[in-house]
Structure 1
Amino acid sequence: MKWSRLLSPKRERTGRKHKEKNRTDLRTSFEKDYHRIIGSASFRRLQDKTQVFPLDQSDFVRTRLTHSLEVSSFAKSLGQNIGEYILAYGKDPEFTPQMKEDICNILLCAGLIHDIGNPPFGHFGETTIREWFEEHLDHIFFQGKPLSEVLTPRMKADLYYFEGNAQAFRLVTKLHYLVDETGMNLTYALLNTIIKYPVDSLHVDPSAGVIEKKKLGYYLADEELFQKISRETGAEDHRHPLTFMLEAADDIAYRTADIEDAFVKGFLPFSALERELRQVDTGENFQAYACLADLYQGAVERGEEEPEAYAVKNWIVRAQSFLIACATEGFTENYEMIMYGKYHKDLFAGTKAEELMEMLGHIAETYVFMTDEIYKMEVAESRILSFLMEKFVAAAVRVGDPEQKMDSIDRRMLAFVSDNYKKAYVRQSEGKDMVEKLYLRILLVTDYICGMTDSYAKRLYQELTARV
């Protein structure tokens, strides 16, 4: 892979009028991407979507919006480090300082939109939707046959492996109506960067130990565009190199943020964090437990009002700096393998940060995700999403089935769906056969539900079930 192609500024929509209009605009294509994103309604909705704690009233605990801003910042830092490495060590004679700047701007944007396709209620929302399809496709009928027999294997696999990352690609390329059907009309380099898993649903294999096959990367409905973009950038069926940096930034952000949020919410006692960190060997440059202990002791000596909180928050900052350094090392040490598409691990593998990242994940799982409070929230969220899936999918199936009569409820459910999403369905379904149209109508439902904020999903459920 070559940086000259990987950093492609090409967009789906270009034209003479568009070019003439922007002759005096000194921004690069990737800087323009940034302004398109932050001005979008889809990006603003992230302020009311769950990171860990759904519908939380605290002004401290993170939302998808604050998480995305943090990922954006960390990703840009990684881009700066790695871009400078390529320049300093002459890894690519064609690589220029402008390319380094472009990498930073692409990663800045990618961090902002990497979670833009996630449904309400965080990753549990994704799980709920996947499980709903697994449970119901055998029991919903179209022309007298269950959907599990009507849909093709690829279509069914798309639903069974429903994924927020694939939904993000779909949203910014087709569903976000800015000027026309090209969505936000972002650059190919940026679009390729946010595709974490360049694999279709029939080739997902979480057990293979190959990171790019871990989850679904794009739906059948969006495959043609994916292939067009990946051919243009030269990434083909490999991960775009910037994707490794984006994923590392995401991992750093949520692993450290989960610890801080859990401590603030009272899920994680200071003593428990101390106990867990004692078991981690991170080397001499950053001794995880010793750093936390030193920060606490210093806070006590200075008479800080809340020495434990002071120590945790400052430890998080130092841990993030250490993790950014290790991710930089992970990329630079495996530079050739990554550029040849032969590196299949994350950037922390084999570094001093690997053990710490695993420990942080273990702490979050033990002290937050497996608690009764979170379980109760997730049960309630599952009920909300399952109800909405049931009502909307039933209406979407019946509307195209001549053997089933739509009732007044079906018509009203479809009336709720965004006009922009309906227009996207009409465009995509032109010339398609009955089964393909059925598949696209089911995607229309997940498109609409994924576009909901946590509050809207809860409010719509309450209104439709006459609950207060």
Structure 2
Amino acid sequence: MQWEQLLSLKRQGDTSKRLRKEQDDTRLGFEVDYDRIIFSAAFRSLQDKTQVIPLSKTDFVHNRLTHSLEVSVVGRSLGRLVGKQIIEKYPHLKEVHGYQANDFGAIVAAAALSHDIGNPPFGHSGEKAIGEYFKNGNGLQYKDQLTDKEWQDLIDFEGNANGFSVLSTSRTGIEGGLRISYATLGAFMKYPKESLPKKPTSKICDKKYGFFQQDKDAFVEVANELGLIPNKSGNDIGFERHPLTFLVEAADDICYTIIDFEDGINLGWIAEEHALEYLIKLVKNGIDIKKYNELTTKEDRISYLRALAIGSLINDAVTVFMENEKAILAGEFPFSLMDKSQFNAQMNDIIQISIKNVYQSKEVLHKEVMGYKVLNSLLDNFCSATNRKENDTATNYDELLLRLLPERFQVQKENLYERLLHICHFISLLTDGKAVELFNTIQVNKN
């Protein structure tokens, strides 16, 4: 892979090439990507979507929006630090093409900002709930009418693939979704493959999938424009990762490891002494013990350790990236950056504490149970109604139910797969609160 191709400013529908040296630096294309994402309805909905702690109104607990903003900030730092070294290593990128170190930061920041934009309500359990409806619930009735890959899209519903749809899918009057640059789309694509074959290798890029069958052509166009390396054969589609994807992933890994831990401590679910015990291993070379001992509140002490820990992990991730940059460009680095971090063991220790005290807490389990019930009901009602309408057997109740759909979702799709995925997409973009409100409306009407 070549950096000048990987940094493409092209957007869907472009008829002429966008050259970096012709860009207005006061309104750089990669920064436009960031703006379009942050002003999108899908991004705004993240303010009422669970990160870990369910439906929390506590000031210091993160939701998907605050998590995404923080991942973006960390991603920007990673991108700029890597970009500085890449420009030094390949000076023609600046001298001939006009790229700057901050371009890398802008790309990674935008991709990181959108990394959870396709996640459904109720956290990762929401993805599982959608898949379970088709795999084991009433949605099983549709299996024989779909291809294997279409069916896999549904039973293994994936927020990353849904995010690609949010960012790129055209609808009437809106070509190319948010029309963000292919460089940012490429950096966003953590798992550049289709849903089958499932986990064909142990490579990090094959861990999950990154696009639905309906978005296959758009995905391939982006991958080809960027010069990503194909790694599947026959009728299967898959590519090696865009190099900057490793930085987006590292930013997410760093934030959820440290900040979920911080949330657990601030909630009192993890003892404060664990913070020093586990974080000191990450910050021992940078901590000012005198300053730490002068901090009088738990929140300030944890905040200080968190900032130092994130800084240590950022610097280490940059080192790992640059040491392996040649292998990454060749598609021969099958790991995440943090897998090869000198702090990998310490991060895993922190995650294990968070799993025990936060992810498996009663509050989180209650949220997941509720999420399954809510999403199963919504899927059953809306999938049934939209298919009966297609078959001209819709009841008056079905018609009323479908009028609850936002205007842009009140369109009939041509085939069963697209209809089912359309409903999944609608439900995935609901906030936690809106999903519960819709569920309650339906249950009241049923009773």
Work out whether residues 38 and 44 of structure 2, in 8 Å CA contact, stay in contact via their aligned partners in 1: yes
Corresponding position of 1:85: 85
User: C-alpha displacement at 1:26, in angstroms?
Assistant: 4.9
* Aligned with residue 243 of structure 1, among 242, 245, 248: 245
Say yes or no: does 1:216 pair with 2:209.
yes
Corresponding position of 1:332: 322
Cα distance in 2 between the residues matched to 1:13 and 1:366: 48
CA deviation string 1:60-107 (max 9, x = no partner):
21111111111111111111111112233x2x3532262422211111
Which amino acid letter does the alignment assign opposite residue 397 of structure 2? I
Corresponding position of 2:401: 413
Change (3 A) 1:26 1:264: closer
Work out whether residues 9 and 29 of structure 1, in 8 Å CA contact, stay in contact via their aligned partners in 2: yes
Work out whether residues 37 and 113 of structure 1, in 8 Å CA contact, stay in contact via their aligned partners in 2: yes
Change (3 A) 1:138 1:121: closer
Corresponding position of 1:451: 429
Corresponding position of 2:154: 159
Of stretches 3-12 and 265-274 in structure 1, the one that deviates more from structure 2 is 265-274
Which amino acid letter does the alignment assign opposite residue 398 of structure 1? R
Cα distance in 2 between the residues matched to 1:82 and 1:45: 31
Say yes or no: does 1:227 pair with 2:202.
no
Corresponding position of 2:58: 58
User: C-alpha displacement at 1:181, in angstroms?
Assistant: 3.3
Corresponding position of 2:49: 49
Work out whether residues 421 and 447 of structure 1, in 8 Å CA contact, stay in contact via their aligned partners in 2: no
Cα distance in 1 between the residues matched to 2:228 and 2:220: 10
Change (3 A) 1:210 1:78: same
Q: Which runs of 5+ in 1 are unaligned?
A: 141-146, 430-436
Partner of 1:95, secondary structure, is helix
Corresponding position of 2:111: 110
Cα distance in 2 between the residues matched to 1:357 and 1:172: 31
Say yes or no: does 1:440 pair with 2:423.
no
User: C-alpha displacement at 1:276, in angstroms?
Assistant: 5.2
Say yes or no: does 1:94 pair with 2:84.
no
Cα distance in 1 between the residues matched to 2:222 and 2:32: 19
User: C-alpha displacement at 1:6, in angstroms?
Assistant: 0.5
Work out whether residues 263 and 270 of structure 1, in 8 Å CA contact, stay in contact via their aligned partners in 2: yes
Cα distance in 1 between the residues matched to 2:25 and 2:5: 23
Cα distance in 1 between the residues matched to 2:435 and 2:345: 38
Corresponding position of 1:287: 284
Corresponding position of 1:370: 360
Change (3 A) 1:139 1:23: closer
Cα distance in 2 between the residues matched to 1:422 and 1:194: 29
Corresponding position of 1:6: 6
User: C-alpha displacement at 1:204, in angstroms?
Assistant: 2.4
Cα distance in 2 between the residues matched to 1:305 and 1:267: 20
Cα distance in 1 between the residues matched to 2:178 and 2:128: 27
Cα distance in 2 between the residues matched to 1:343 and 1:181: 35
Q: What is the Cα-based RMSD across aligned positions, in Å?
A: 2.7
User: C-alpha displacement at 1:396, in angstroms?
Assistant: 2.6
User: C-alpha displacement at 1:24, in angstroms?
Assistant: 8.2
Corresponding position of 2:127: 126
Cα distance in 2 between the residues matched to 1:418 and 1:174: 17
CA deviation string 1:316-353 (max 9, x = no partner):
11110011011101101111110011111001223212
Corresponding position of 2:235: none
Change (3 A) 1:374 1:175: farther
Alignment of 1:269-418 (within 5 A): 269-274=271-276, 286-287=283-284, 299-300=292-293, 302=294, 304-306=295-297, 308-401=298-391, 405-418=393-406
What TM-score do you get using the length of structure 1 for normalisation?
A: 0.85
Cα distance in 2 between the residues matched to 1:392 and 1:138: 11
User: C-alpha displacement at 1:272, in angstroms?
Assistant: 3.9
CA deviation string 1:381-404 (max 9, x = no partner):
2211111111112123323336xx
Change (3 A) 1:55 1:317: same
Change (3 A) 1:327 1:23: closer
Work out whether residues 161 and 215 of structure 1, in 8 Å CA contact, stay in contact via their aligned partners in 2: no
Work out whether residues 87 and 100 of structure 2, in 8 Å CA contact, stay in contact via their aligned partners in 1: no
CA deviation string 1:243-276 (max 9, x = no partner):
0000000111111110111111111111344555
Which amino acid letter does the alignment assign opposite residue 336 of structure 1? K
Work out whether residues 248 and 347 of structure 1, in 8 Å CA contact, stay in contact via their aligned partners in 2: yes
User: C-alpha displacement at 1:4, in angstroms?
Assistant: 1.0
Change (3 A) 1:26 1:93: closer
Cα distance in 2 between the residues matched to 1:180 and 1:336: 39
Corresponding position of 1:263: 265
User: C-alpha displacement at 1:11, in angstroms?
Assistant: 1.0
Q: Which runs of 5+ in 2 are unaligned?
A: 230-238
Which amino acid letter does the alignment assign opposite residue 465 of structure 1? Q
Which amino acid letter does the alignment assign opposite residue 396 of structure 2? S
Cα distance in 1 between the residues matched to 2:92 and 2:176: 31
Cα distance in 2 between the residues matched to 1:51 and 1:101: 29
User: C-alpha displacement at 1:32, in angstroms?
Assistant: 1.8
CA deviation string 1:228-255 (max 9, x = no partner):
1100010141100110000000111111
What TM-score do you get using the length of structure 2 for normalisation?
A: 0.89
Which amino acid letter does the alignment assign opposite residue 406 of structure 2? S
Work out whether residues 82 and 104 of structure 2, in 8 Å CA contact, stay in contact via their aligned partners in 1: no
* Aligned with residue 461 of structure 1, among 428, 432, 439: 439
- Name the % identity: 34
Cα distance in 1 between the residues matched to 2:320 and 2:23: 40
Say yes or no: does 1:204 pair with 2:160.
no
User: C-alpha displacement at 1:298, in angstroms?
Assistant: 5.3
Cα distance in 1 between the residues matched to 2:75 and 2:7: 16
Q: How many residues align?
A: 431
User: C-alpha displacement at 1:39, in angstroms?
Assistant: 2.1
Corresponding position of 1:39: 39
Cα distance in 1 between the residues matched to 2:132 and 2:254: 28
Corresponding position of 2:72: 72
Work out whether residues 30 and 106 of structure 2, in 8 Å CA contact, stay in contact via their aligned partners in 1: yes
